[in-house]
Structure 1
Amino acid sequence: MHDIWNPWHGCVKYSEGCDNCYMYFLDKARNKNGRDIYRTKQGFYYPLQKDKFGNYKVKSGELIRVCMTSDFFLKEADEWRMEAWSVMRHRPDVKFFLLTKRIERVRECLPKDWGNGWENVMLNVTCENQRRADERIPILLSLPFKHKGIMVAPFIGEVSVDEYLKSGQLEQVICGGENYDGARPCNFDWVKNLQAECKSANVTFCFIETGTVFIKDGKTYLMPKKQLQSEMAYKSGMNFIGKPINWKLCDRFGDTIPKSKLYVPHYGKNCEKCGSRPICNGCSDCGKCG
């Protein structure tokens, strides 16, 4: 996927949201162990890769999700993180989406030139239930980041973020059910309540997938295929686009890049009913859709 950068792989389970980790499941299917943590060889410098003409493969304005098979603030990755920050520093024209459960480690892991935050980096914290939301979101709000968001996934318990939205710091809330072995149910009432809070605050809300076990109007639906989960999330009509995120992207000389020069996502046929469309990087033209 052209919107994912995994500078390292593998993780240590951290809270109840990790119990049925999708990365562990997928690694097991490949006869690997998700607890094995290693720096990726070909992928570490992905945002800096160039084509045969000397142009960056990742275009100015693209959004890259970082460490989707690990945690960017994983202690075991401390020796590699500063080099990963350096990659982001070299691409101030690209948006980097960071996601962590280890929010209490963030401040000590920032680069020395961080200041009040970099304009091209968004920090998102995972809040799988109300307990974790109340633990982690206050720390997120105290950190020096230009862009902040919340990921309620796997959505395994009702979550209210109304009080935190009042801070005005949160720019998006994403939620989705749990997948694969042992998936716990996601209740549509939780999704509706969370969406209502975001809509009231004019904050973008994205319901990306129902999860394998989905409860709606008291009835339980089993949906093992992720494409169906995404389509059902889309059809629910829950996605809401709030106030725009003001990314200030610049070139390596510090000059602001005009919007006309930035990457504009385009979408394929399978994207039309995808729950993740409002927050994704668009089609990669891989040809797998047929």
Structure 2
Amino acid sequence: MSDGSSIEWTEATWNPTTGCDRVSTGCDHCYALTLAKRLKAMGSAKYQTDGDPRTSGPGFGVATHAAALGEPFRWRHPRLVFVNSMSDLFHAKVPVEFIRRVFAVMEATPQHTYQVLTKRSRRIRRLASSLDWPPNLWLGVSVEDERVAYRIDDLREVPAAVRFLSCEPLLGPLPKLDLAGIGWVIVGGESGPHARPMAPEWATEIRDQCQQDDVAFFFKQWGGRTPKAGGRDLDGRTWDEMPSRVVTAA
């Protein structure tokens, strides 16, 4: 677990699984893949499983970490927690029983709010009815361009308390975005040495659609060589809207 996350829309990260495989163009310059290679070289125990070099890399093979399941019980204060910043909980190599154990931890720690983000929307849709969905779980899908907009339809079939979209890195326009059943949208440009640019109109079009549909809108960054290179202002201001967050006692 890491407190004080640099990710603007969360407060902490929790990685009961690590590792992943690239599945769409949004994965091309994956920060987690690069970081896992570095952590493996540093000897970090969680990152000693190598992935398929065609889609993953050193230290980034999918692995589950049962020891990490106890971490949320030790946090003294309520947190907004990004689950698996270094993985995808719904990767095909993560056993359903382990997903259930992660969900059980969330349900047993209602003082925290958990944010799960995935690109494996088809698997979520298939598993949804077989999982017990805790009320403090927000579920999102990554939507980098129109080619993966089907993930939104899959997400709508899932009984999460909050459903959200992460349009980061936004690599193309998403015109006439259907936000029915969606409670939050994050937009951001790509960062890193090979960052692909985001056209301003792509971001403003999504912002305007959110305003029209009364959906919370969060503008994370313009992107560039570093995450902060282009700043966070959109039309002269920051946009840090969040869904309603319900916190109950443990």
TM-score, normalised by the number of residues in structure 2: 0.79
Instruction: Say if 2:45 is the partner of 1:45.
Output: no
Which residue of 1 is the match for residue 229 of structure 2?
228
Deviation for aligned residue 1:124: 0.6
Determine which of 2, 13, 35 is the counterpart of 1:4: 13
Q: Verify the 8 A CA contact 1:195 1:238 in the aligned structure 2.
A: no
Which residue of 1 is the match for residue 93 of structure 2?
76
Deviation for aligned residue 1:160: 2.8
Which residue of 2 is the match for residue 125 of structure 1?
141
Specify the SS of the correspondent of 1:178: coil
Per the alignment, do residues 16 and 113 of structure 1 end up closer, same or farther by CA in structure 2, a change over 3 Å counting?
closer
Determine which of 190, 201, 225 is the counterpart of 1:178: 190
For 2:139 and 2:176, locate their aligned partners in 1 and report how far apart those are by CA, in whole Å: 16
Larger radius of gyration: 1
Q: What CA RMSD, in Å, does the superposition of the two structures yield over aligned residues? A: 2.4
Per the alignment, do residues 193 and 7 of structure 1 end up closer, same or farther by CA in structure 2, a change over 3 Å counting?
same
Which residue of 1 is the match for residue 36 of structure 2?
27
Unaligned runs of 5+ in 1: 50-55, 213-223, 253-290
Deviation for aligned residue 1:34: 4.8
- How many residues are matched? 224
For 1:237 and 1:4, locate their aligned partners in 2 and report how far apart those are by CA, in whole Å: 30
Deviation track 1:256-279 (CA, whole Å, cap 9, x = no partner) reads: xxxxxxxxxxxxxxxxxxxxxxxx
The 5 A counterparts of 1:63-212 are 63-78=80-95, 79-110=97-128, 112=130, 114=132, 117-133=133-149, 135-160=150-175, 162=177, 164-165=178-179, 167=180, 169-212=181-224
For 2:66 and 2:228, locate their aligned partners in 1 and report how far apart those are by CA, in whole Å: 30
Specify the SS of the correspondent of 2:183: strand
Unaligned runs of 5+ in 2: 4-11, 42-46, 48-57
TM-score, normalised by the number of residues in structure 1: 0.69
For 1:238 and 1:195, locate their aligned partners in 2 and report how far apart those are by CA, in whole Å: 12
Percent identity reads 26
Per the alignment, do residues 142 and 154 of structure 1 end up closer, same or farther by CA in structure 2, a change over 3 Å counting?
same
Q: Verify the 8 A CA contact 2:13 2:84 in the aligned structure 1.
A: yes
For 1:161 and 1:75, locate their aligned partners in 2 and report how far apart those are by CA, in whole Å: 31
Specify the SS of the correspondent of 1:145: coil
Letter in 2 for 1:173: V
Letter in 1 for 2:120: R
Query: Which stretches of structure 1, 4 residues or longer, exceed 6 Å deviation after superposition?
Result: none
Per the alignment, do residues 247 and 29 of structure 1 end up closer, same or farther by CA in structure 2, a change over 3 Å counting?
closer
Deviation for aligned residue 1:182: 2.7
Which residue of 1 is the match for residue 52 of structure 2?
none
